[in-house]
Structure 1
Amino acid sequence: MAGEMSMIGSVILALLLAGYLGQQYLPPPKPRVIGLDLGTTFCSVGVFQPGTGEIEIIEDDKGRKSIPSVVSFTLTGVFAGHEGQELSDVNPQNTIYDAKRFIGKIFDEETLEKESARYPFKVIFNNGSADFLVNTNSTFTVTPEFIGSRLLLKMRKMAEKQLGVPVEKAVISVPAEFDERQRNYTIRAANLAGLDVLRVINEPTAAAMAYGLHKAEVFNVLVVDLGGGTLDVSLLNKQGGMFLTRAMAGNNQLGGQDFTQRLLQYTTERVRQQYGVPPTLKEDIHLLRQAVEAAKLNLTQEPHVHLRVPLYLQMTGASGAQEEKVLFEEKLTRETFEELNADLFQKILAPIETVLVEGHLDKQEVDEIVLVGGSTRIPRIRQLISQYFGKEPNTSVDPDLAVVTGVAIQAGIMGGSWPLQVSAIEIPNRHLRKTNFS
């Protein structure tokens, strides 16, 4: 008996030694499960690298780590991501964005009509669901999940190109307030892109994992997610490795796009003041919007930026209307940007106050404040949050990539990748409702 036990022990030791040597000297296996963040404004894909335990955010062919959540239909094809966004000003009726706002959601006709009034493309009512009307060489409708599938397919191809292996499995994130129908339609979008979804994880939980909070001694975590189009605030309670969402609030009409629009309105008025007429050509408006968006991003790091935008203005002279090429130049300061958006920035505090009240928590009891979404980079927004809580929020993770980083960690767990990670378990809270501000 002792001999048998000794033999078994030797076999186990040999297997452990072989595993160790394999990890040290053999190339690690390629990850086969990808983590997907299908955002309202931007999407990202990441993987957990076996062996090293590092998270790799997949880049496109130009080194960009996220793609716009935009799909444009033309006579020659369907263009997703950056290619779709480039067509947004010249092909607005057939360029779909914000599809995540509609996916799996049930509408009445009046609500859908009100919701769709803000878009240049046509949103139609289809037995309680929203469809998008497209008119290229023919007129047809597409569903929100189809739009999502084109974005997911693009990210799947990016991952396959980078990894050099076929990818058929994924973990995907969704907003915490998504109900079962919205989650199922998100899974359907992934299925249309040829992906088998192993797990759906809430975005706030994914963000908390990115910050390593699933392994830290914290209890109350506030996640402020301010992206391009929406603000979501979630209060999480962690017990062991389990996360419970205690309260949610937000504003589905507040985000980086609104801050950019304020800046665009200001610069358009400055053009009118300098030259007597505002820009009217689609190409000019497109160039000005691109310049303003870049300026907004640069103002998070710099106190001021200079705009230089060539425009073709429709001037009226002695011989009638004619185009005149001008070079619009303007100095934009962070102070001006903050003044233009002061009322919008202040709106961020209302959902924060609401989740604390509904979660029966004092702000002093919040252990960690986690920032998610590119718009939380804006210094004034960080300052407002810091002043409200009397302490600095956690900024150790790139806010643009926090959710996809957490989803990639979960993808590594689902794929059984080594080194092993502690999984974050979400406790369903089916009675929870999100409070929305506007």
Structure 2
Amino acid sequence: MLRQSLSVLRIQQRKLNRIGRVWSAAAFSTSPLAPPRTPAHPPRIPQVINPPALLSSHFTPPIHTTTTTTVHTTAAIHTTANIMTAPPVLRIGVAGAGRMGRIHIENILSLSRVTVTAVCTVLPHEIEWAKSVLGPEGVVTPDYNEFVNLPNVDAVLLVTPTGFHKDQVFGALKAGKHVLCEKPIAGNPADAWAVYYESLKYPNLKVACAFPRRYASVFVEAARRIKNGEIGEVTTLRSQTTDLYQNDEFLINYIKHSGGIFVDCTIHDIDACLYLLGKDVLPTSAYGTGSANLFPQFKEFGDVDDALGLVNLDGDKTVMNVYGSRNNRHGHHTMTEIMGTKGRILINGQPRLLQVDISDETGTRMIGAKSHMELFTEAFKLEIEGFRDWILDGTEAHFNLKDAAKAVSIAYSLMESLRSKHSVDIALPGPSA
């Protein structure tokens, strides 16, 4: 009898050891982070924390210590054992498994306390890839409505074409899911602000737009110093995103549907400037200009390959200058400069990927990044961790959905100015009736 009891204990311990990252998904048939639902089946593994506390909209994560705990199983076996309390896990469903979607999925699967339980895509090659990555336990479906209503999905990450963002955010919120949406939050100001105002109707759900610079260590440090008043009152911000020169069919087709260089490219700079300012400023006017000397065919799409934008903020007290280019021959270069009444901060002044200089008979050169994704590799992961901790722990996040909506309004106004060759007044839409 004693041997049988010890055998049962070993089996239960092995089950606990297998819980890992999918503990929350295996322990409950309903989401521990979404609004409470009646479980379809009782827990199938030992309960290690109190379900009512976990299912509440605001819960305190368990302390990660070894404790003496009474284990309850579905077979009503009661015994005492020393076990390690398993932490909650955020279960993310990812919509879109293309270039950026794959980066996010692989990043999530490399992190702790977060996992991918489902993927939604209509493209056969993406479906095949997602199934190979998630394995038999993952759900891969082309049906977005089915996807957002899956009980093993707590949050949705949208990596889909911009035109789908508004309706997909609305659908996820209606299904009780948290949302992280790739930039831009929507393709035009009306839709962007509709998303923002809709999010206010769901105070228990987190809604964010993904801008990785908000989690890049150099931008976080600059924002901290600005907030501390080290450069005084900010008067001017200058930021650029210049991409490696690329002349191929992929780029040309991409530009056709990108929304324009300000909406697709320098919106990163616009949001970075709003983040660094650290306050709710009102954009008042925008002027955009540019040229298409390298890619004259861009003019057919109402776009350019080099663009410069000026934006007045906060009753014309602050000026934002953004520059974007598709013609950077040495690689990708993101740079931001903030001028204040008492000083200046320069971020990524030189196009470095690593703090390494190489000197030889040809001179001295540095190692630069080839792409935005390469330069901000770590920031993309920190962004996911920030989203996870915001939901699981209530940790303060760097996301700002109102800024994301403002960024669309500013970028859209700059494109309008670029095409009309006139300055444009910026009007921010209010909530719809």
Task: Give the TM bin, normalised by the shorter chain.
Answer: 0.3 to 0.5
TM-score, normalized by length of structure 1?
Answer: 0.34
**Larger proportion of strand:** 1
Q: Which has the higher contact order (CA 8 A, sep 6+)?
A: 1
